[in-house]
Amino acid sequence: MNNVQWTSMAGMAVGIVLGVVGAFGGFGAFLLVLGLGVVGFLAGRIAETGEVNVLGLSLRRK
């Protein structure tokens, strides 16, 4: 269980939620949920690390 990619699973969950909201709530609700998700993500990063390092979020690993 230690090898689970939590960021991938969280991304999949967010994608499913956005898809359901887009299907049933329309485009305005989709944008609202997407915007609030970004705000929540940034608040979580600030609470966890004390800063937001956008460059650390890239897919390329050295």
Contact indicator for 52, 45 with CB cutoff of 8 Å: yes
Q: pLDDT for 17-42, tens place per residue? A: 888 888 888 888 888 888 888 888 77
Structure tokens at 22: 């887009």
Q: pLDDT for 9-22, tens place per residue? A: 777 788 888 888 88
Cα separation, 17 vs 25, whole angstroms: 11
Residue position matching structure tokens 């970004």: 38
- Biggest CA pair distance of the chain: 41
Rg (CA), the chain: 14
